Amino acid sequence: MAKDNKKRKNNKHDENLSTEAPHILDFSNYKMITSIEDKAENKKFEMLKIGINKYYEVEIPKNVKKYGNITIPNNSEDKDEKDEKDESFNKKIILDDFKDEMSKYALKNINNIKSDILTNISMNLASNLKNKVTGRKTIYVTENIPLMGHTAFGVIDRGTNIIQVRGHSGCNIRCPFCSVDEGTPSKSRINDYYVDIDHLMNTFERVVEYKGNNKLEAHLDGQGEPMLYHPLPELVERLNDVVSKGSGIVSIQSNGVNLSYKLIDELEEAGLHRINLSINAMDEKFSKGLSGKKTYNIEKIKEMAEYVKNSKIHLLIAPLLLPGYNDEEFRKVIDYAVDLQNRIPQNTINPITNNLNPILGVQLCLTYQFGRKVPNMKIWDFKKFYELLNTLENEYTKQGFDVHLKTPLKYYGSRPMRRIPCPFSLNETVENVKVVAEGRIFGEVIGIARDRVIQIINCKNTEKLLGNTVNVKIHRVKDNVIVATLC
């Protein structure tokens, strides 16, 4: 379990035990532990709820027989709720039976209790980690699972200078048009993934080394809301430390729900270049409907958008057109972005292009196999979509505004680039693939072979496959996303 490099108190029994109050176990130096709560549903089976990386949790037995009486400080006892900078909030366990005990025997027992708690947490990370946002079981991905091969997590290289970085899956809203059926409830998604930050960086750096560190873009996206990755500012900073050496950038997609003044400041300091902010309607009721959440607050999103616009981070507003459904709201979002750009002109230069990025990146809603479909939405091709964009651009020109709505990826510096070779061939039979985890959807398991993850689909009795080796037939290899079925 990772520890901060900060200097801690010197104690011959445990450097994390207070010399004045050793019965108070402080877990602040363990970065992944972000909260500790007392979950006492009944007296017979009491549990401790351990917050992991802010948005996840595991439960471990309180074990009164072994630990004695335990008290978990209330939030209000440890810090003012308004003080967002105090990261030691709610990370203590008080061993009541050891209060005022300072003997070597007592200190040894306290050390043993703390070690036992940490061991319990580590064991539960592997099998009982839960996403607090989606409520789904979460697989904690460490170095034993490669990070190329799956679309839900890891690193994706599609043969350009844009490297997709996916640290987790899971979303805090439930858009009725979502291409991957994310949010809660979901008909198809049964598991989430969280990737250890060191493992994620090691894979990213290997990809950069192969491709050449020349004007790369590390783009944080995924099957869910990328802003829910924790610790996000640290990840952005580490990615930026790599790509900035080659005049590259770090960008992120977001629905904006998780944005705050504090997070924006941290991301700006970390070196984030651009936020692609999804806004699909300006009307309060309509925007709630398109987010699938009654708590969605378009005014708060607009407030955060203006704050980003006043920072060094480039803001790109990315409205999605659902033909026949949000046509008027789509136009309102464009009007809002044009007005925002005129009020607060963008002055952040993209080092890849040495130009300013556009304020808008409009998109057309498409339908996908496992995605949701909006009733009454019309299906358009891109020819019809671009005809609409031409019409809108001409209207803005007549009003005296130079608005670019057709913005291909080359506007942002995207270009073809050497890609990581795929170790598999289409229709190849691969033997001795080790099944290491449950899949993202029903009937899927995750196998590993040749330093790749393989999505093995259409499986029956998936629980019986875990831990075994199987033979598979490869059905997809494009972009090193590997999909197979059992032979």
pLDDT one-digit tens code per residue, 408-428: 988 899 999 999 999 999 999
Under 8 Å between Cβ of 140 and 125: yes
Residue 393 has pLDDT above 90, yes or no: yes
Amino acid identity, position 387: E
Question: Residue 182: how many CB atoms within 10 A of its CB?
Answer: 25
Question: Residue 90: how many CB atoms within 10 A of its CB?
Answer: 20
**Mean pLDDT, residues 478-482:** 97
Residue 85 has pLDDT above 80, yes or no: no
**Mean pLDDT, residues 446-461:** 97
Total-model pTM = 0.92
Split at pLDDT 50, 70, 90, the class of 7 is very low
Nearest-angstrom CA–CA distance, 262 and 200: 24
Split at pLDDT 50, 70, 90, the class of 369 is confident
Which three-class secondary structure string do you get for 414-472? CCECCCCCCCCCCCCEEEEEEEEEECCECCCEEEEECCEEEEEECCCCHHHHCCCEEEE
**Mean pLDDT, residues 107-128:** 94
Which pLDDT score, from 0 to 100, does residue 81 have? Answer: 41
Token digits of residue 274: 């651009």
Split at pLDDT 50, 70, 90, the class of 80 is very low
- Ranking 41-55, 126-140, 348-362, 363-377 by mean pLDDT, the lowest is 41-55
Under 8 Å between Cβ of 167 and 140: no
Nearest-angstrom CA–CA distance, 116 and 109: 10
Nearest-angstrom CA–CA distance, 9 and 19: 8
Which pLDDT score, from 0 to 100, does residue 84 have? Answer: 45
Give φ, ψ of 390 to 5 degrees: -60, -45
**Mean pLDDT, residues 246-258:** 98
Exposed (0-12), middle (13-18) or buried (19+): which is 7, by Cβ within 10 Å? exposed
**Which segment, 60-64, 73-77, 248-252, is predicted with the most confidence on average?**
248-252
Mean of per-residue pLDDT scores for the chain: 92
Token digits of residue 469: 């080796």
Which pLDDT score, from 0 to 100, does residue 44 have? Answer: 56
- How far from chain centre, in Å, is Cα 26? 27
User: From residue 318, how far is each of 219, 232, 342 by CA, in Å?
Assistant: 15, 21, 17
Which pLDDT score, from 0 to 100, does residue 73 have? Answer: 87
Residue 370 has pLDDT above 90, yes or no: no
Under 8 Å between Cβ of 452 and 149: yes
Split at pLDDT 50, 70, 90, the class of 75 is low
Split at pLDDT 50, 70, 90, the class of 255 is very high
pLDDT in tens, 276-335: 999 999 999 999 999 999 999 999 999 999 999 999 999 999 999 999 999 999 999 999
Q: Which helix (H) or strand (E) is 265 found in, with range?
A: helix 261-270
Q: What is the DSSP string of 70-116?
A: EE---HHHH--TT-TT-TTTT-EEEEGGGTT--SHHHHHHHHHHHHH
Residue 16 has pLDDT above 70, yes or no: no
Split at pLDDT 50, 70, 90, the class of 10 is very low
Local structure of residue 164 (DSSP, 8 states) = E
Nearest-angstrom CA–CA distance, 335 and 389: 13
- Residue in the structure block whose two tokens are 């350009």: 160
Split at pLDDT 50, 70, 90, the class of 41 is low
- Give alpha helix (H) positions in 147-218: 197-211
Share of the chain above pLDDT 90, in %: 83
Token digits of residue 95: 């061993």
Which pLDDT score, from 0 to 100, does residue 12 have? Answer: 39
Under 8 Å between Cβ of 245 and 208: no
pLDDT in tens, 152-194: 999 999 999 999 999 999 999 999 999 999 999 999 999 999 9
Under 8 Å between Cβ of 439 and 467: no
Token digits of residue 283: 């009307």
Sign of the CA dihedral running 176, 180, 181, 182: negative
Q: Where are the beta strands (DSSP E) in 137-198?
A: 137-141, 154-157, 162-166, 191-195
